[in-house]
């Protein structure tokens, strides 16, 4: 399979700040690739390096095998859906969508026809004459999507495109985006700080931390087998066990991760502690136990008894649920 985007030890330093620091990355053609990380981790800068709004201070970026180090954004065959959508307020929706075709010199009738086609694809056929200010957040998001897709880019870049939408709309858009990507067979590169979004939408994802990639792999790899404590904590909201605790629970003296849904409360066990906090989630209750100073979260399914705050309880898990992460 061809690589749509390749990073060869790419860095982007802003003075002393290493926003992106020696990143190696390969994004397969036709995949839905997510870049996940907390704010300031370098994921957005990586996206801007692909679109050309940032120049690398070191390394090489290739798009479909071609070195784009000296290619300005307007000559790169990639398009971006911006976080704030960046729709042109003085143009109506149709002209916004047709903008890329207009600057390439396509005639008025033809580009408007193409824009209408694309608006139909995102289910906004009747909205061509409106101004962006007259649309809701979800509709603007679709216009931004249509405006990018109408240019038939080789790679579509999405910068936290769902961040401004409410939960219900966000979930609907996640499904739509995923379906659209499958249908078009296009490479999507998606930046998000929402681990659920990344896990549920991506074919593969890179977890960023402090300008570096902490782990890269399929959602299952990353969720089940986090490579570092950071990944375990950030992606799965997993319990991270220090070596002492792992040994006390019958494992080797290594750092380990344990998912809350694989942890259950039990009357007896090698380690017990008081219940520190309870959080009702609807589908269950998250019980946090203070185990020798380490917080261990267990997920109690709905319908099962939940201990009161302050009572002491032990916990248990299948030995295979414990994922070891080395001694460092």
Complete edge-to-edge strand list for the sheet that includes strand 272-280: 264-266, 312-316, 272-280, 284-291, 294-301
Helix (H) / strand (E) containing 321: none
Give the span between the Cα atoms of 281 and 306, in whole angstroms. 13
Which residue's CB is nearer to another protein, number 155 or number 202? 155
* Minimum distance of another protein from residue 156's CB (angstroms): 11
* Residue of 41, 80, 192, 215 interacting with another protein (CB under 8 A): 80
Residue 104 binds another protein (CB under 8 A): yes
Give the span between the Cα atoms of 103 and 78, in whole angstroms. 15
The H helix count followed by the E strand count for the chain is 9, 18
Which residue's CB is nearer to another protein, number 90 or number 328? 90
Nearest partner of 208 among 192, 189, 197, judged by Cα: 192
Residue 64 binds another protein (CB under 8 A): no
Residue 73 binds another protein (CB under 8 A): yes
Which residue's CB is nearer to another protein, number 73 or number 274? 73
Residue 193 binds another protein (CB under 8 A): no
Residue 72 binds another protein (CB under 8 A): yes
Give the span between the Cα atoms of 166 and 180, in whole angstroms. 20
Complete edge-to-edge strand list for the sheet that includes strand 256-258: 239-241, 256-258, 323-324
Stretch that binds another protein, among 94-102, 200-208, 214-222, 224-232 (CB under 8 A): 94-102
Which residue's CB is nearer to another protein, number 42 or number 100? 100
Which residue's CB is nearer to another protein, number 21 or number 95? 95
* Minimum distance of another protein from residue 139's CB (angstroms): 17
* Residue of 11, 44, 45, 51 interacting with another protein (CB under 8 A): 51
* Residue 195 burial (CB count, 10 A): 21
**Secondary structure (3-state) at 277:** strand
* Minimum distance of another protein from residue 113's CB (angstroms): 18
* Minimum distance of another protein from residue 106's CB (angstroms): 11
- Phi/psi at 115 (nearest 5 deg)? -65, -40
Residue 132 binds another protein (CB under 8 A): no
Residue 103 binds another protein (CB under 8 A): yes
Helix (H) / strand (E) containing 251: none
Where on the chain is the footprint of another protein (CB under 8 A)? 51-53, 72-75, 78-80, 82-84, 86-90, 99-100, 102-104, 147-148, 151
């Amino acid at each position: 399979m061809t690589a749509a985007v390749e990073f060869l030890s790419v860095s982007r330093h802003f003075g002393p700040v290493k926003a992106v620091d020696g990143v190696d990355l390969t994004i397969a053609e036709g995949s839905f690739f997510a870049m996940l990380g907390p704010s300031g981790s370098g994921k957005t800068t990586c996206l801007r390096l692909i679109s050309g709004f940032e120049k690398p201070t070191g390394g090489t970026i290739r798009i479909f095998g071609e070195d784009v180090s000296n290619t300005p954004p307007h000559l790169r065959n990639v398009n971006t859906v911006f976080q704030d959508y960046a729709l042109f307020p003085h143009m109506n929706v149709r002209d916004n969508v047709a903008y890329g075709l207009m600057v390439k010199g396509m005639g008025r009738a033809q580009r408007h026809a193409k824009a209408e086609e694309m608006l139909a694809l995102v289910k906004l056929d009747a909205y061509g004459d409106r101004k962006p200010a007259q649309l809701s957040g979800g509709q603007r998001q679709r216009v931004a999507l249509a405006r990018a897709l109408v240019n038939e880019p080789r790679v579509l870049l999405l910068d936290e495109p769902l961040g401004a939408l409410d939960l219900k709309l966000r979930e609907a858009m996640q499904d739509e985006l995923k379906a659209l990507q499958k249908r078009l067979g296009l490479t999507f590169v998606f930046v998000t700080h929402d681990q659920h979004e990344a896990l549920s939408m991506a074919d593969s994802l890179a977890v960023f931390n402090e300008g570096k990639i902490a782990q890269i792999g399929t959602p299952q790899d990353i969720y089940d087998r986090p490579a570092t404590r950071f990944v375990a904590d950030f992606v799965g909201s997993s319990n991270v066990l220090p070596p002492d605790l792992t040994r006390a629970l019958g494992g080797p003296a290594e750092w380990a991760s344990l998912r809350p849904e694989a942890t259950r409360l039990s009357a007896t066990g090698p380690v017990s502690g008081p219940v520190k906090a309870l959080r009702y989630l609807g589908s269950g209750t998250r019980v946090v136990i203070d185990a020798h100073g380490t917080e261990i979260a267990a997920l109690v399914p709905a319908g099962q008894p939940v201990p009161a705050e302050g009572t002491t309880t032990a916990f248990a898990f299948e030995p295979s649920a414990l994922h070891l992460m080395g001694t460092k």
